[in-house]
């Protein structure tokens, strides 16, 4: 790993971890509290999630020599918080185990990989671009409350892209941090060094918890995270075996669910940061960026008690700005690929717009519905009804 790494890979790994934790850790805390978790149990959740993501990312990236980033299920945390009424923490753990087993089955049977192999590259590219574009829009919208911060970060990004493209995102992070510190926006008062301890919760079985939480957790994780996660990897030119990735995500979930590791799967948004050429100029060595992210994940998990205070030190505008600018290149490449085939251009555009809209139907997010809309468009545009053959048996 050290032989193949670079400063840009370390930077990309750190930014991916920073963005991943800061953008959704509050939702994780809310989900745990909704189930009645104690402070020690919430800290255990952070530990289990950090170790699960870190060790899985390290192992899978080293095995495939591709930037494979495993993360918690962000939409799944929302499902847990919404379905927590009438469900105890132990019953929720039982539901997490069911979700993990279902993900494992998707891997060992090969069902998920066969579905992914049938998705055209144009739709996969527009799906990824639509997901990431939402974050880019939010990063520039942050200029309304913090114009100096965002404008400075943008100028640093443009100058960095011109003369030091591999270190542009690192420059954005450092420049933004300096401006935030000068403006008094960094609050380190809540940062305390406290190591996390695992807390085991014995699962109990409840059909109500399985049907209201476990199955929806599985569906939204696969539809809203696994599908765009695989798309992100393939659009970037990597072709790792998908089924083992799904199997391992399920196994990791089963092993760590009693400690708070409620659901693991492929990352999509943060994965784009380590899949970007800025992470490493050599695509064959870009896996080191994901491995650095894995190491930072583990560190975050071990310091679970300090994570909340540490992440709260950074203003939201800074985090959104770094995330949005780190994803600009990937968004541009995704749009270029998706709109490059004239016969699939309209389907790709519809996929992009529906995904970007953020629409949620039946509890499933816009990534899934964008893919459905694009697929239906492609079917309507290209399906042809073949006229029945009137040839007799002697005419063939």
What is the number of domains present in the chain?
Answer: 1
Nearest to 275 by CA among 313, 235, 245, 308: 235
Tokens, residue 76: 């799944």
Instruction: Kindly state whether residue 154 falls inside one of the protein's structural domains.
Output: no
pTM of full prediction above 0.75: no
Instruction: Kindly state whether residue 348 falls inside one of the protein's structural domains.
Output: no
Instruction: Kindly state whether residue 264 falls inside one of the protein's structural domains.
Output: yes
Instruction: Kindly state whether residue 319 falls inside one of the protein's structural domains.
Output: yes
| Straight-line distance from the first to the last Cα atom of the chain, in angstroms, rounded to the nearest whole number | 63
Instruction: Kindly state whether residue 170 falls inside one of the protein's structural domains.
Output: no
Determine how many CB atoms are found less than 10 A away from the CB of residue 197.
11
Q: Which domain holds residue 106?
A: 7-147+185-342
Please say whether the beta carbons of 242 and 109 come within 8 A: no
What's the rounded Cα separation, in Å, for the pair 223 and 218?
A: 9
Instruction: Kindly state whether residue 178 falls inside one of the protein's structural domains.
Output: no
* Helix runs in the chain, H state only: 7-34, 39-64, 74-82, 89-109, 111-117, 121-141, 147-163, 168-182, 207-209, 215-221, 227-235, 242-256, 271-275, 287-302, 304-312, 316-326, 328-338, 345-357, 366-382
The one-digit pLDDT tens for each residue of the chain (396 residues) are 667 788 888 988 988 888 777 667 767 877 888 898 888 888 899 999 999 999 999 999 999 999 999 999 877 887 788 778 888 999 999 999 999 999 999 899 988 888 777 778 788 788 778 877 887 888 888 888 888 989 998 999 898 888 887 677 778 888 888 888 888 887 776 666 778 889 999 999 988 888 888 887 887 788 778 888 888 898 888 988 889 999 999 999 999 999 999 999 998 778 888 988 878 878 888 999 999 999 999 998 888 767 666 666 778 788 778 777 877 877 887 888 888 888 888 999 998 999 888 787 876 667 778 888 998 998 888 776 565 555 555 554
The dihedral built from the CA positions of residue 215, 217, 220 and 223, taken in this order, carries a sign that is negative
Instruction: Kindly state whether residue 39 falls inside one of the protein's structural domains.
Output: yes
Instruction: Kindly state whether residue 179 falls inside one of the protein's structural domains.
Output: no
């Amino acid at each position: 790993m050290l032989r193949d790494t670079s400063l840009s890979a370390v930077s990309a790994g750190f930014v991916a971890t920073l963005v991943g934790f800061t953008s959704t850790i509050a939702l994780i805390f809310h989900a745990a509290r909704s189930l009645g978790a104690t402070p020690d149990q919430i800290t255990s959740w952070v530990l289990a999630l950090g170790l699960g993501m870190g060790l899985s990312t390290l192992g899978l990236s080293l095995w495939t020599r591709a930037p494979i980033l495993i993360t918690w299920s962000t939409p799944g945390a929302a499902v847990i918080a919404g379905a927590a009424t009438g469900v105890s923490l132990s019953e929720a753990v039982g539901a997490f185990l069911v979700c993990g087993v279902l993900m494992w089955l998707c891997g060992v049977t090969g069902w998920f990989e066969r579905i992914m192999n049938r998705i055209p590259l144009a739709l996969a590219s527009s799906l990824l671009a639509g997901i990431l574009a939402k974050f880019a829009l939010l990063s520039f919208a942050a200029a309304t409350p913090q114009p100096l911060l965002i404008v400075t970060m943008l100028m640093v990004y443009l100058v960095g892209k011109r003369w030091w493209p591999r270190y542009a995102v690192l420059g954005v992070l450092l420049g933004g941090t300096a401006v935030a510190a000068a403006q008094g926006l960094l609050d380190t008062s809540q940062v305390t060094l406290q190591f996390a301890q695992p807390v085991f919760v014995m699962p109990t079985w409840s059909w109500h918890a399985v049907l209201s939480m476990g199955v929806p957790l599985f569906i939204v994780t696969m539809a809203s995270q696994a599908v765009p996660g695989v798309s992100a990897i393939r659009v970037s030119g990597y072709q790792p075996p998908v089924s083992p990735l799904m199997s391992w995500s399920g196994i990791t979930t089963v092993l760590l669910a009693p400690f708070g590791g409620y659901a693991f799967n492929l990352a999509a948004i943060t994965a784009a940061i380590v899949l970007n050429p800025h992470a490493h100029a050599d695509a064959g060595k870009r896996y080191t960026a994901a491995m650095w992210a894995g190491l930072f994940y583990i560190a975050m998990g071990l310091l679970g008690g300090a994570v909340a205070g540490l992440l709260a030190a950074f203003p939201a505008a800074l985090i959104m700005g770094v995330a949005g600018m780190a994803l600009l290149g990937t968004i541009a490449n995704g749009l270029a690929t998706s709109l490059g085939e004239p016969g699939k251009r309209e389907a790709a555009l519809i996929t992009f717009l529906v995904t970007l809209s953020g629409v949620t139907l039946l509890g499933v997010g816009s990534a899934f519905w964008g893919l459905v809309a694009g697929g239906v468009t492609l079917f309507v545009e290209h399906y042809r009804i073949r006229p029945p053959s009137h040839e007799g048996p002697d005419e063939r």
